[in-house]
Each structure stands twice: as C-alpha cells, then as structure tokens.
Structure 1
C-alpha cells in the first residue's frame, strides 16, 4: 500500500465496496484502498457515522446507508453500483456469546442473523456486479478456532463463515474468495465494556500474545488489502492474531 501522499496509485480506476465501514476495521480498510487511488464506497446503517468516516478517510470515498440484513436493499444497491472490483465484508456482530450451559438459543440465532446471514446474502446480492476475476474478502474472528470458554456460540457463527471460503473459492472461480480472522483488536466493538475493564481485558490478552499487544484496525486492514489485491491467493482464511493462537505461545 502506498502512503496517502504517494504519487503511486496502483488501484486507480478500480471500485471497492467495504461493507461495515463506519469505524474500526472497515474504516481502516477503506482508507487503505483509498490511499492507493481506488474509488471506495463505504456502507453501514448510520449515515452520520458513515459521513464522518468518509471525511476522515478522504480521497474518492462515498458513503451509502445500507442495512445488510435487508436483501431487497442489497439487491438494489448492487444493481446500481456498476462493476465492483473488490468487496470487503466487515459486518460485525456481538450476540451469541456466553457459557454454553446457559446460552440463550434465541441470542445465538440473533448472532447468526446479525453476522452470518448478512455476509451470505450480501455476497449473493453482489455476485452480478463483481468483476469476474475480482475478489471478496470476509472478516470472521479467531473465536472460530480459539477454544475459549464462553465462546462456543461465537465460534459457531464465525466457523460457519470460514467453512464457506474454500468451496466458494472453487465454485465461484476465477472470482477469489478469502477471509481474515482477527484476534482481539481495539475497536468500538469493545465499547460496551467500561474503559477500565476494557483495558484489563486488552492487557490480559497482550500478556499472552507473542506480539505483546492487541491488534489495531490498521493491522487487519493490511491483511484484508493483501488478500484482496494478490491475484494468486484464494480460498485462504488468514489469521491475524499476533500469534495468540499458536500452540506454545511465547
């Protein structure tokens, strides 16, 4: 990726759609593509937050209010979008966690409704608009493989998304399908925790992670950019966890 002031614009003339980009990982990813000259469309459910993100990003960025749970709205959006070279699905969800014995199955279903199904129907709706040899990159989560107590529901949601990647990479070729599986990343996803508790959680994860810190949105954005723009990579789920999932740790 070039810097914002670099004269090199390797993605000039390409259109990128980043869904779930009003903050955090999605916004950082949109910024990475915009810095390299792409025309970027960011989507989310709050127009004010999207507009603020677009202002922060700069470049050829436009903001479009879109609810990824609304299939008719998705179909209309992509029907009017023109050709999309790269699609990034950074649609986050927060429901479905908790100890399994007490897990509210309605909350687990809501977790699938908030993350799994929006990813699936957004990709289906986008297919007619996607460049034949373009890319789709999903954002999952390392909970799919981390085996942490209290995350069985989250593991099921993100594991289901990751299971889609290899067969879709073959079925939809030459369109490339990949995913990035982040570990703990300092984003607004954690804002429901009081600041002191959030810091304690981050410090605890940093202490057991070889990288010695939690992730930043820009870390995950670089991984997403890499998978989207490398034409020889498909069917991959790339972990971006700072080494937290290594068997031996430090």
Structure 2
C-alpha cells in the first residue's frame, strides 16, 4: 500500500504518516519547509520518504506526482490558520489567503494525483469542525473548511470507484495553534477540554486513527467523519 500525505511534516499529517508507516505502508510525505521535512523524516520509520513541495504550486505538485508514480491513497493534510475573526472586523484579504493556504492547495494536490491514483484507492481531506460549529469568530474558517466538505460527496460520485472522504477534527494539540502565546494556548485548551464530554482536547493520533480507518475500509465513501470529542453535542 503506497500513501502520499500532502502536509505530512507536522501535526495530523505526521501522526498519520507514522501510524501508516508503522503498519507497513509505503509512505511519502510532502511539505513546504525543507527543515520541517528533515525533522519529520528523522522521527518516522526509515521506510518513509519525503520531498519538499509547495502544495500551492500546481506545476511543482504535478511534477512531484509524476515522479511519485502510481499511488493507492492520498491524504490531504495541507492546512492554514488565516481567515479567523469576527466578521465585522474580518480582513477579507486574509480570508482570501485562507483559501489559498488550504482550499486550493488541497484541490490542486488532488487534481495532480488523479492520473496516478488507484481506482480502488482513496482520498481523505482534512477539514475542521469550524465548517459546522457556528461559533462566533469562525465564519471565515468555516467557509474554507465548509467548501471542502461540500465537495466530498460530489467528488465521491464523480470519481467513483475511487473513494473520497474527509475527517473533520475538533480542537487538536497541533502547531496550528502556535499563533497564540503559550499561556493563552494552554488556557484555550483547558477551556475546550472542560466543555468536551471526553474531558480533554484531541491529539494528532486521534485523527490519524480516523484517517487510517478511511484508508483501509473499502465500504466508506462520500462521508465527513467528525472527530471532536463530542464538542459539538
């Protein structure tokens, strides 16, 4: 089983790479930063490979996919944090940048991979519960993630029998939150943990388990799987 994980150098993507590689999959990770790629490969099994590729560059992504050759599964873990804030104060240029950080890179990566993806393989988008949380200050983030989630069932029909799904994480302890000072970040995590039925925030491995399920289960397609510790209940 050969898996490409775009955005696999940290957080959820890295945890997924480790889980699948440890289970015997042939894993290739990509990311924009050569330093982060080197750090990621240093903690992954020696069988894992990687390449520095900016998912926002459609030409380079097409070149990478051509060099990678035939693959069985694609995980789209490319992310971004731009576009948050109350709408009346929201810089729409930042929202545009949010789409350019996550929405378009995920779609460009999928388009580049299509000629090489196994017909019996899978694609897994990584979105976020902001798509449906209806929380003040997240309209922009919700728009980015919601747009991806709306495409999932349509793509599952268009690209069949290739399976297309998404995992929609809640609050997960990843570098995505590094825009906050450490004390604010920890206070935010405590607040969300207190509000969660499972009394904690998520770890990247929690999401990796859901991704691994969608990779392996050949009877799931067109679905958005929410993994948020019950936060939206």
Equivalent position of 2:208 in the other structure = 221
SS of aligned partner of 2:229: coil
Q: Aligned match of 2:144 in 148, 157, 174?
A: 157
Distance 1:48 1:40 in 2: 19
Distance 2:119 2:67 in 1: 17
Equivalent position of 1:242 in the other structure = 229
Equivalent position of 2:92 in the other structure = 105
User: Does structure 1 residue 62 correspond to structure 2 residue 49?
Assistant: yes
1:30-58: per-residue Cα shift (whole Å, max 9, x none)? 01110111111000011121121112011
Q: How far does residue 64 in structure 1 lie from its aligned partner after superposition?
A: 0.3
TM-score (norm 2): 0.99
Q: How far does residue 213 in structure 1 lie from its aligned partner after superposition?
A: 0.4
Structure with bigger helix share is: 2
Equivalent position of 1:117 in the other structure = 104
Q: 1 or 2 for the larger relative contact order (CA 8 Å, sep ≥6)?
A: 2
Q: How far does residue 194 in structure 1 lie from its aligned partner after superposition?
A: 1.3
Give the alignment of 1:121-160 within 5 angstroms.
121-160=108-147
User: Does structure 1 residue 27 correspond to structure 2 residue 14?
Assistant: yes
Distance 1:172 1:21 in 2: 24
Distance 1:44 1:218 in 2: 19
Distance 1:240 1:57 in 2: 24
Which segments of 5 or more consecutive residues in structure 1 lack a partner in the other structure?
1-13
SS of aligned partner of 1:18: strand
Equivalent position of 1:168 in the other structure = 155
TM-score (norm 1): 0.92
1:53-74: per-residue Cα shift (whole Å, max 9, x none)? 1120114101100000101001
Distance 1:171 1:58 in 2: 35
Distance 1:48 1:63 in 2: 12
Distance 1:107 1:52 in 2: 29
Contact 1:168 1:235 in 2 (8 A): yes
- The alignment covers a number of residue pairs equal to 233
SS of aligned partner of 1:135: strand
SS of aligned partner of 2:179: coil
User: Does structure 1 residue 40 correspond to structure 2 residue 20?
Assistant: no
Which segments of 5 or more consecutive residues in structure 2 lack a partner in the other structure?
none
Equivalent position of 1:88 in the other structure = 75
Contact 1:37 1:59 in 2 (8 A): no
